[in-house]
Amino acid sequence: MASLEEVTPTVDESLEFDPSLKKKKKKPKAVSFDEAADLDDSAPKNASADPAVDELTDMFANLKKKKKKSTSTASLEPEEGSPAPDTGAEENVEDFDFSTKKKKKKKAAVDVSEFEQQLEEAGVVETNEDDDTFEKDGEEDAEDGEEEEASWLNSDREYTYEELLHRFFKILRTNNPELAGERGQRYKIPPPSVMREGNKKTIFANLKDISDRMHRPYEHVMQFLFAELGTSGSVDGNARLVIKGRFQQKQLENVLRRYIMEYVTCKTCKSISTHLSKENRLYFLVCESCGSRRSVSGIKTGFQAHIGKRKRLPG
Amino acid sequence: MSTSIENLKTFDPFADTGDDDSQPTNYIHIRIQQRNGRKTLTTVQGLPQEYDQKRILRALKKDFACNGTIVKDEELGEVIQLQGDQRVKVMEFLSTQLNILKKNIKIHGF
């Protein structure tokens, strides 16, 4: 849990930080939501439909590289497919030049640093090269593996565990890739977009979107949010949620993550293609991919302390 | 031959093992509520009856250097209220001093 300083920073603080630290702020967001999505590994069907989510996945793929710009659309899955070029045309050229040079056993260190400078000027971070080389290595490895496999399949010797494992995963990947735990194909939920209305209210703009993605009625999500946050609120005309009190995106993310843990993911198969059914006052979570059922507790608000001015006692 | 199957007699798989989660209902809920400004309020609901709430409160107040009260609720019994965000600290206190399992404590809020 966050300490008090983290929980309630002042308004001006966040406003001050926003423009300058935008890039920095973006990353933890992405990371944390990745964790949330970790729960729901095997539901690739709704993966990354909207641009924000795409961006997120993008960032996960390139998470290793610290300075990666979010605008560049490098390939999502490094293992398969050829290395995707960057968006900008001139960057593109430079990129490719560079990688070919690398292949040719780079000539001089001076050259490289020059290129790095150019790349940096062009807005491409020098870690791009790592990406390319990494991808190439991966491809080479795969080819090697194929050759090896061909050799050991026909020989009489005992197969090693590694070889069989590779073979298994290769076959699995070709036949049904969704079982092989392909990264980037996972279910993603867009981060909550949170704004402040006035001084005391928070607007949660994409509640509808998020709850649609989770296949839950937004009323249910709303109820959970209010119970957890110990506040109240309402839905305004544009289907946005207005919450009383100051909350930050990170905090709402935490609550949403808990909601997903509790009411969305199937505990058995970790899938999130589930639905809630109500049977004589009890909620059951039924998984649509594995068919398991578990009961979930209803949303209880619990004790609500009286906040605000005390009522004047009679007499 | 049939009498020699000993392990059928010794263990009844349907007997109560005693360590199942048969009583998960009495969770301790630690909640937070926002007050005006950056002030918050922590409530601890569902402490076991065998503990003296007053003494716990006194210890909590001293440990966390905050004020607090006991509120009597019709349904929920006695609830400890503390000033400020003391959720993690309360949790630590309960698990170390009172030997309450952490899985029986639920922290709510953001």
Q: Which of B40, B73, B110 sits opposite A255 (nearest CB)?
A: B110
Q: Which of B6, B9, B32 is nearest to B107 (CA)?
A: B32
pLDDT in tens, B19-71: 544 444 678 899 999 888 889 999 998 888 888 999 999 999 999 999 999 99
pLDDT value of residue A305: 79
Q: CA distances (Å), A216 to each of A52, A212, A233, in order?
A: 21, 6, 19
**Contacts with A305 from chain B: Cβ below 8 Å:** 33, 41, 43, 71, 79, 81
pLDDT in tens, A236-252: 888 889 999 888 899 89
Q: Which of B41, B43, B108 sits opposite A228 (nearest CB)?
A: B108
pTM of the model: 0.54
What sign has the CA pseudo-torsion B79, B84, B88, B92? negative
Q: Establish whether this prediction's ipTM goes over 0.90.
A: no
Alpha helices in chain A (DSSP H): 4-7, 11-20, 22-38, 51-61, 89-103, 109-121, 128-154, 161-175, 207-213, 218-229, 249-259
Q: CA distances (Å), A273 to each of A32, A288, A301, in order?
A: 21, 6, 27
Q: Which of A258, A255, A225 is nearest to A242 (CA)?
A: A225
Cross-chain residue pair A1–B107, CB shorter than 8 Å: yes
pLDDT value of residue A58: 47
pLDDT (average), residues B62-84: 90
**Contacts with B41 from chain A: Cβ below 8 Å:** 305, 307
Torsion of Cα atoms, A109 then A115 then A117 then A121, to 10°: -170
More confident residue, A76 or B59: B59
